Structure 1
Amino acid sequence: MTISDAPTDDFTFPVDELVGLPFNRAQSNPHGPCLSWPEGRFDNLEFASAVATTARIMSTQHKIGRGSVVGVLLRNVPEVITTMFATWSLGAALTPINPALTDDEVNFQVEDSGVALLVGDPRAEAIADGRGIGFLSVGDDCFRGGDEPTGDLDVREDDGSLIIYTAGTTGKPKGCVLGQANISAMVWSILNGLEFGENVRSLLVLPLFHCNGLLAGTVSPLMLGGSVHVLPKFDPKSFWEVVEAERPTYVSAVPTFYSILEATTKRAVDTSSLRFVICSAAPMSPDAITRFETRFDVTMLEDYGLSECSVAATLNRTDGTRRPGTVGTALPGLRVATMDPGGQLLGTGEAGEAVVAGKTIMQGYLGRPEATAETLKDGWLHTGDVGYLDEDGFLTLVDRFKDMIIRGGENIYPKEIEDVLFSHPQVTEAAVVASPDDKYGEVPVAHVALREGAATTVEELHELLEARLARYKVPGEIHIVASLPKNSVGKIFKGDLRET
């Protein structure tokens, strides 16, 4: 068997060190930069004061304390980060809610997680009133501070920290319960697995209702003494202007963001502040990575993880070992392997389900013991992703088990077809899904978006695929569209394509 791991004897921050981050920063460097956003900035003292004031209001007026759950229904704004640290300082857990959800979907998450206080705008107020729970307006003065930050904390390792809801593509979303010990271990692992350099500054474009934006994009740079610039949303038209003005040292985003930037940027851009960019949430084809790196003269590092392991399990490094096309090796303190359907660990080059073990693994799915038992077995988190490890522990992802296409008994992984499509320089987005077929059971169908002004034809793409793939893998149909449907994080959503 082959296991990718990075053994270490010291694998976490004390939870009070992480939760007390705002107050520690205010004490050591009160006027150093902390958070910025298009309309303003906080230094360390201002941020700590906002956290302290918000925590006091939560505690005295809304009785939030250990075991409570606070919901936040907002787009990417600094108040989400203030709410998170204020909630944690009281021993309570935060459940961030995607503002793109319908009211019914929001109500489900609020009820399922047991939210006692909802933070947000007038829409959130109406939902809170309808449910008879507390409400705190994002416009309240507490978010601007006023209290002296004392650093008084009430936090334990087994306290809940985050309840992150899965996408819910197969039934109702499930709440991943992460404890303070989980996120402390995750942040420690990130900071010890990647060299961020001096004066780190994160440009936050990923949504703050997911672990990546909260932990990798926010908490991690702040723990290093760095700063964060919060963007309300990703806008390719103004993205490079923000990079040039704010001078971030890294960005974490998803493949579609990078593909769009490479395809639509017409002018020369100054990327000299960027030490690297991180590609998360889904694998990016090696050809697309090369095009981006060549166009913008910046190194791209792929990682892999999921909410159930607090965000990341593997990562390519900046130490000269990275292997484009893989998602890197296990982060410090974590173990990654592949497993067959019978639960046996597999050897080098053998494809199976990727499994992860370590202190970052969730406590479980909230109120769903059967789903938890199905996902957490014998100390391993079962991811549902198919991959294989090479002799040096680099993980290559093949696809999702649920996305596999079985054509007349032959297993076809869509990612293999998508990677060939991405090798065409005019392809910016590609997704392959199964379509029912009377003869073969199901067959692959490709959906492709092209860069502006492209003259590529379906026939040309067919020829490319036929030259690179076995005949049974070549899609019978290729649809060229303006763009592909995406979920709230920016990942291509194949569910809509299967219905077309």
Structure 2
Amino acid sequence: MSLPETVTVPLAALPETRAAAQPDGRAIADDTVTLDNTAFADRVARAAALLVRMGVGAGDVVAVALPNRVELIVTLFAAWRVGAAATPVNPALTTSEMQYQVDDAGAKLVIGEGLDLDATVVEVGALAAEPALHAEPAAVEPGALALLIYTSGTTGKPKGVMLDHANLAAMTEMTRAGLGMSAADHSLLILPLFHVNGIVVGTLTPLLAGGRVTVAGRFSPKTFFGLVERVRPTYFSAVPAIYAMLTSLPEAGSADTASLRLVVCGAAPMPAELIARVERTLGVVLVEGYGLSEGSCASTLNPYDGVRKPGTVGLPLPGQEVRVVDSNGDPVPQGERGEVVIRGANVMRGYLNRPEDTAKTVVDGWLHSGDVGVFDPDGYLRIVDRIKDMIIRGGENIYPKEIETVLYSHDAVLEAAVVGRPDGVLGEVVVAYVALRPEADAGVGELHDLCVERLARYKRPVAIELLETLPKNAVGKIDKPSLRLLAAT
């Protein structure tokens, strides 16, 4: 379908704009519901009417605590239609964790299912039961709050990242251009919708480009390739752990993936060996990007049309400035390591009700990522590691990603993570945790030999422990705080 000036269509008006352009065009679907553009606009109008009846208006926040399903997307657009913002809540959180986010966000109400919260809770089934609201969508200023995305909270209480409508407009246009997205694209959404990648890359960008979205309610490696063959998506976005699982499946090499134009990887740097394995096994182009929730999702991308450099996270997206700086905030020479900082229309308004944290993170308009990076001579960025993940052994700085890359080069390794273990003499020593591919029989000694061959002595793990699987956080990243606790015991 063709939308007029697609990327400038306000989010609040998008469902109606799509319905007017192509009433019976396909919009969104999940495991049980399929909506064309007319039905999508109607569902959003009904949900908006419910919000208005419940007293929600401009400047309010609506929380939605649902697993991936059509109603979650409908709620986002309904909130925007009445001038409110939305905060997606991970449905796997405990009641107390949910309560914290609802309270911190100041949510007017919560859309969910069977929730026991000290808040106004509306059952999800009510969204479609209300008579449709036929009033014009609210006129929303670009600087109005659109999304509150909560950080994972690994360094304290989760913080609400404030993204406004201008942030989302800029990010979706950058993503659309970077991935060459058009009305022909069909997103298979497998990442959680409480995360900015699932919302921006998996949902908003294809809808704004005139394409469509199929929501996978729950990612399952066992059924994934059958789902791809059935719904015929043109792309999906995932994290390295998912790609590692998929390429280890016996059916990976024979699955029908011909509909896929590309696949996208984000959330954590992906080993070059795994990128090559994905492209070889699935017969598809893998585009790796890098970004933060505080930057609305992505800041660099290995170009879909152009030179892709595995082992890097690509070039800065047009409209963004990306630098590598020293501790004083001054740019370092090309080839030297420093902190990655970002400036552009995609940078968040700040953390909700946390001016001190905001001031530390956004300095003179530059978003400080907390990531160590280095630019190569062609301007491609390589992420070395998180600053907080760096291991200091006897005064030597050690970057876990370098050791993980060596471990990933072994064909038997499915996942690898390196952390520091407290040491009374050296301060910290290196410990590695590895999960092997199914049927692999590599031993710890073999992995130690690989490290001896490729790493200086001070970088080598003092211990390599084999686990059946590595712990993950809610977004699918390897949970290093849990591994640090394990290493310290």
1:34 maps to which residue?
Answer: 27
SS at match of 1:189: helix
Residue by residue, what CA displacement relative to the aligned partner does 1:120-140 show, whole Å, maximum 9, x if unpaired?
A: 1012xx21xxx2x33221112
Q: Does 1:62 pair with 2:48?
A: no
The CA distance in 2 between the partners of 1:480 and 1:12, in whole Å, is 50
SS at match of 1:317: coil
Q: Does 1:417 pair with 2:410?
A: no
How far apart are 1:151 and its partner, in Å?
4.7
Say if 1:12 and 1:185, in contact at 8 Å, map to a contact too: no
2:142 maps to which residue?
Answer: 157
The CA distance in 2 between the partners of 1:146 and 1:12, in whole Å, is 28
Say if 2:384 and 2:399, in contact at 8 Å, map to a contact too: yes
1:199 maps to which residue?
Answer: 184
Say if 2:416 and 2:433, in contact at 8 Å, map to a contact too: yes
The CA distance in 2 between the partners of 1:377 and 1:432, in whole Å, is 31
Q: How does 1:292-303 map to 2 (within 5 A)?
A: 292-303=278-289
TM-score under structure 2 length normalisation? 0.96
Q: Residues 264 and 484 from structure 1, CA distance in 2 versus in 1: closer, same or farther, beyond 3 angstroms?
A: same
TM-score under structure 1 length normalisation? 0.94
Q: How does 1:260-299 map to 2 (within 5 A)?
A: 260-266=245-251, 268-299=254-285
SS at match of 2:41: helix
Q: Residues 145 and 391 from structure 1, CA distance in 2 versus in 1: closer, same or farther, beyond 3 angstroms?
A: farther
1:7 maps to which residue?
Answer: none
> Structure 2 residue aligned with 1:75, among 47, 67, 70?
67
The CA distance in 2 between the partners of 1:158 and 1:197, in whole Å, is 27
Q: Does 1:476 pair with 2:479?
A: no
How far apart are 1:17 and its partner, in Å?
2.6
> Structure 1 residue aligned with 2:42, among 9, 32, 49?
49
Q: Does 1:93 pair with 2:93?
A: no
2:435 maps to which residue?
Answer: 449
The CA distance in 2 between the partners of 1:493 and 1:207, in whole Å, is 16
Residue by residue, what CA displacement relative to the aligned partner does 1:424-463 show, whole Å, maximum 9, x if unpaired?
A: 0110000000001122110110000001111100000000
2:97 maps to which residue?
Answer: 105
> Structure 2 residue aligned with 1:240, among 222, 225, 228?
225
2:334 maps to which residue?
Answer: 348
Task: Please provide the CA RMSD for this pair.
Answer: 1.5
Residue by residue, what CA displacement relative to the aligned partner does 1:325-347 show, whole Å, maximum 9, x if unpaired?
A: 11111112111111101111122
Letter in 1 for 2:291: G
SS at match of 2:153: coil
Q: Residues 12 and 405 from structure 1, CA distance in 2 versus in 1: closer, same or farther, beyond 3 angstroms?
A: farther
> Structure 1 residue aligned with 2:297, among 285, 305, 311?
311
How far apart are 1:18 and its partner, in Å?
3.0
Q: Where does the alignment leave 5 or more consecutive residues of structure 2 unmatched?
A: none
Q: Per chain length, whose mean CA-contact separation is higher, i.e. which structure has more relative contact order (CA < 8 Å, sep 6+)?
A: 1
Q: Does 1:186 pair with 2:180?
A: no
Residue by residue, what CA displacement relative to the aligned partner does 1:266-291 show, whole Å, maximum 9, x if unpaired?
A: 36101100011001100110011111
Say if 1:50 and 1:146, in contact at 8 Å, map to a contact too: no
Q: How does 1:11-30 map to 2 (within 5 A)?
A: 13-14=7-8, 17-30=10-23
Q: Where does the alignment leave 5 or more consecutive residues of structure 1 unmatched?
A: 1-10
How far apart are 1:264 and its partner, in Å?
2.2
The CA distance in 2 between the partners of 1:175 and 1:152, in whole Å, is 26
Residue by residue, what CA displacement relative to the aligned partner does 1:303-355 show, whole Å, maximum 9, x if unpaired?
A: 00111011111111111221111111111211111110111112211110000
SS at match of 2:125: coil
Say if 1:49 and 1:145, in contact at 8 Å, map to a contact too: no
How far apart are 1:13 and its partner, in Å?
4.5
1:333 maps to which residue?
Answer: 319
Letter in 2 for 1:44: N
> Structure 2 residue aligned with 1:114, among 85, 106, 114?
106
2:377 maps to which residue?
Answer: 391
How far apart are 1:164 and its partner, in Å?
0.6
1:8 maps to which residue?
Answer: none
How far apart are 1:197 and its partner, in Å?
4.8
How far apart are 1:233 and its partner, in Å?
1.7
> Structure 1 residue aligned with 2:240, among 247, 255, 260?
255
